[in-house]
Structure 1
Amino acid sequence: MITVWGEGRGFRVAWMLEEMGLPYRLRDVDMLKGVENDAEFLAINPAGFIPALQDGDMVMVESVAIIEYLAARYGPTPLALGPDDAGFGAYLQFLHMGEAGLAGAAYIATVSRMLAPEGEKDNWGARLGMEIFESRLGLVTRQLARVPYVAGDRFTAADISVTYALEFAQRTVGYALPDAALDYVARTTARDGYARAMDACPATRAWVAGLKAQA
């Protein structure tokens, strides 16, 4: 049985698993209580960040790499494009941009604005993080002006990666997405796989519900 350790970016992994119809279990990792108190998780990922994937003796700890692993290990799947597909380059680019250029950059701004001392919340690093996010978002919206999904005409794992990042920015720093990105997120999150992943991730579901209640 595949085990997903932790939510957060683990939602990407759960969504991929749901889209592929693969059985798994989600093991909660409460980062707020202090991961140093979770010896079982630290035995899986001594670096102490989430998510992690455990598949037999194999352990992985980067959400986008995990998505690629699942597609390769348990495919073939239409969620992953191959070298012979016209959208292969775009697929790879946006699959990785979803973390490296979007979620990762927004995360720097998020932790600064939420956790930094009062006088340091709007710091240089936080501003740079959002500048990076916005520049990569421009590449996403330019692509969406041509095609409905980031790799072309069909939904792929790259859309899981990018959608997570866009929703992360909305939910954490209140980023106002442009209309093209809003329409895109509405398309991707209308999928049954997304709904099943949300049902499977209670912490994420509760977080989103709390944000809606505050709105």
Structure 2
Amino acid sequence: MITVWGGQTSRSIRVVWVLEEMGLPYRVRQVDMLAAKQDPEFLAVNPADYIPAIQDGDVVMVESIAIMEYLMARYGPTPLAPAPQDPTFPAYQQFLHLGEAGLATLMMPVVVSRFIAPDAERENWGATWCLQSFQKRLKLVSQRLADSSYLAGEAFTAADISVTYALNLGQRNCGITLGDAEQAYLARTTGRDAYKRAMERSHEGVNT
């Protein structure tokens, strides 16, 4: 049984979504990242104290994209990950990693500035720069969606899971305004049954 350590609106949704798409058994353990004292059992898994993390037998991993790649390679093959020989593979790889390295990571200084920082430090230069950079990199997504329904082509892949999280984060917590093409794209990705199940499981933290 795979254990996912995560939170209700965290990057762990990417992991749970992959698990649901692949039909793999798992359980969710909720982690409160704002708790004054963290769960020792979780810290034994990830002493760096961030989510998501997974336990899969003797395997312990952190970092949402790495976990996604592990699950698809370990329990695949799966349509979520095109083969290296597939013409869609380069775009898949680019957007799989852009969703975190190029988009979601930029939103963290904005989130902590707006919701955690002292009032006088909330509108800081770094957060403003991150917002501007997000908007620039969002153009890569917009350009791709002008030519295809999904980021690797006409088929849904893990790249869409990665980027959907980032777009939702930017829209929900950082005041990012998405265009019609991006909104239609999110309607397609979040309309999937596996996404809906993943959201339910991530909020409930129940066992399979």
Aligned residue in 1 for 2:177: 176
Gaps of 5+ in 1: 205-215
Correspondences of 1:74-153 after superposition (within 5 Å): 74-153=75-154
Aligned residues: 203
* 3-state SS of 2:150 partner: coil
Aligned residue in 1 for 2:2: 2
Offset of 1:203 from its aligned partner? 6.5
Moved over 3 A (4+): none
1:67 paired with 2:68, answer yes
Gaps of 5+ in 2: none
Aligned residue in 1 for 2:33: 31
Offset of 1:108 from its aligned partner? 1.4
**Please, what is the CA RMSD of the aligned residues?**
1.2
Deviations 1:149-204 (A, max 9, x none): 00101000000000000001111123211111111000000000000001101179
Q: Choose between structure 1 and 2: higher helix proportion.
A: 1
| Gap change, CA 1:203 and 1:102, over 3 Å in 2 | farther
Offset of 1:100 from its aligned partner? 0.5
**What is the distance in 2 between the residues matched to 1:6 and 1:106?**
18
TM-score by length of 1: 0.92
* 3-state SS of 1:201 partner: helix
* 3-state SS of 1:3 partner: strand
* 3-state SS of 1:186 partner: helix
**What is the distance in 1 between the residues matched to 2:74 and 2:136?**
33
Greater relative contact order: 1 or 2 (C-alpha under 8 angstroms, separation 6 or more)?
2
* 3-state SS of 2:147 partner: coil
Return the letter of the residue paired with 1:182.
Answer: Q
Aligned residue in 1 for 2:16: 14
Aligned residue in 2 for 1:52: 53
% of aligned pairs identical? 60
